[in-house]
Structure 1
């Protein structure tokens, strides 16, 4: 495999105050100080410089999804494969207007147009992250930042790109109600990426959600109570997935896509068996809003 883990997600946001209310006031996540209203809001979950970056902008869209590799040689080989797939690559230098928080990086748009960054040597922060009273901690480290889910114009072509070019490996499938989802891993986390066909009103190139994994089930419960009490819309209610066993809920962000907050993901081992499921939920996960 080449990609080792999911590093960070960056988003252009039209309403950064609502985002700050959600992530800081309600979920009590740690953020880096901002010197002006034009500065991005960097959200910390662990010892990385940031895991979530929010950039004030005129409209909402994914600015960048960052993946990590372990060695400079892996980055070089990956860049060659992306170039062979006829995608344009930009090598990012330290004097770039948005330098990478890493030793070295490349950037490109994937076949569905998702802005993609791959880095080696991500920057670590010497000061400890501050956890609030809602979520006690997050499962990251070698497993990376949870997962992301993309909606694809050409679903099979996207699966081919991420497996053949970027080196992801198949975990399993869920097929239900016109939806077809392929789950891919790049480490022991059940999946760091899921790819879906156009369904449920989503079009290819839409960003569905990203997931962060809390340290305990109680963390998920406390976050769920806080979000529901504040009247934040939900994408899906509390429930448990069929394939990875995660207990989670999905909240609706001010930018329209979802954040899944979950706990209890299965890990991929040498005896892993690829399966096809006919439902995403063992229980719960109803499509619902709290208001």
Structure 2
């Protein structure tokens, strides 16, 4: 089944801002633009990992998930249809646009659009970071992780674990404040996180990128003021995956977590429940309280 987060696509009126944000701040490499003028960013030898499409408003275009075997796409289709979710086999033209061999598309019960892909295109030894950097942790662990928020987290757990086979890593529950689940599909502690949010909406909160050096986290943190990037959560270390990181706003409403030193899971992993998200740090910046928690969309009634 799903083995990694392959790529992320968003729609945004601030597409062009990503050229500077992506290369000079994140340290990604600018790839050739998409056919619609989208900005594409590389963090490794994949053709691209982030694609920002021109649009009038911010929205999620797709979460791209990878499977190891072509036949796994058929398994995903059967499981989705058994759960009452319509899956569509993508055209050759769409596969070419995504730089994959084959893909299947669907929208989950909370309005998030997904693509399950096989055969992502790679070009070995070609990645060149946009600024001095040790690079990103990808490979079999994929792009990173995403946090999706929904009103019914238990239903979300049933869908993503029961239908798509994401494996629970642990939970963080702070009564009245936070209710979150974390799921792995490879050695990365979590590739998907789910969080509880108020009724009537779905939220794409953040994408996490893991760097190979603690100094890369510090360098990016120093650049926040220089590049006028809004801070969301201060430097800190998580209780569950032990990642040393900070969170900042992107030009397109959702946040990016830049982290280092996350723990890896194995076959003998046992899920735990934590009562706080941070060992230390990760304080919410006062100005972040005035921003949306990410890309928000209304749910159908």
Q: What CA distance in whole angstroms lies between the structure 2 residues aligned with 1:52 and 1:207?
A: 15
TM-score by length of 2: 0.90
Query: Structure 2 stretches of 5 or more lacking a match?
Result: 289-301
Q: How is 1:180-195 mapped onto 2 (pairs within 5 angstroms)? A: 180-195=179-194
Q: Does 1:31 align with 2:35?
A: no
- CA distance 1:220–1:206, change in 2 (3 Å): same
What is the CA RMSD across the aligned residues, in angstroms?
2.0
Residue 123 of structure 2 corresponds to which residue in structure 1? 125
Superposed CA deviations along residues 216-248 of structure 1, whole A, max 9, x for unmatched, are 111111111112332311110111100000000
1:234 and 1:289 in contact (8 A); partners too: no
Residue 275 of structure 2 corresponds to which residue in structure 1? 278
- CA distance 1:186–1:223, change in 2 (3 Å): same
Residue 206 of structure 2 corresponds to which residue in structure 1? 209
Deviation at 1:97, TM superposition (A): 8.9
Deviates more, 1:121-130 or 1:209-218: 121-130
Residue 227 of structure 2 corresponds to which residue in structure 1? 230
- CA distance 1:35–1:183, change in 2 (3 Å): closer
Deviation at 1:124, TM superposition (A): 1.0
Superposed CA deviations along residues 26-45 of structure 1, whole A, max 9, x for unmatched, are 33320113388x51111001
Q: How is 1:51-130 mapped onto 2 (pairs within 5 angstroms)? A: 51-96=49-94, 99-126=97-124, 128-130=126-128
1:92 and 1:104 in contact (8 A); partners too: yes
- Please give the secondary structure, in 2, of the residue aligned with 1:95: helix
- Please give the secondary structure, in 1, of the residue aligned with 2:41: strand
- Please give the secondary structure, in 2, of the residue aligned with 1:82: helix
Residue 20 of structure 2 corresponds to which residue in structure 1? 21
1:151 and 1:203 in contact (8 A); partners too: no
1:146 and 1:192 in contact (8 A); partners too: yes
How many correspondences in the alignment?
Answer: 287
Q: What CA distance in whole angstroms lies between the structure 2 residues aligned with 1:101 and 1:33?
A: 12
Q: What CA distance in whole angstroms lies between the structure 2 residues aligned with 1:150 and 1:98?
A: 27
Deviation at 1:178, TM superposition (A): 2.5
Superposed CA deviations along residues 152-177 of structure 1, whole A, max 9, x for unmatched, are 13211111111111111110000114
1:27 and 1:226 in contact (8 A); partners too: no
- Please give the secondary structure, in 2, of the residue aligned with 1:16: coil
Superposed CA deviations along residues 106-155 of structure 1, whole A, max 9, x for unmatched, are 00001111110001111112561111434320000001111000001321
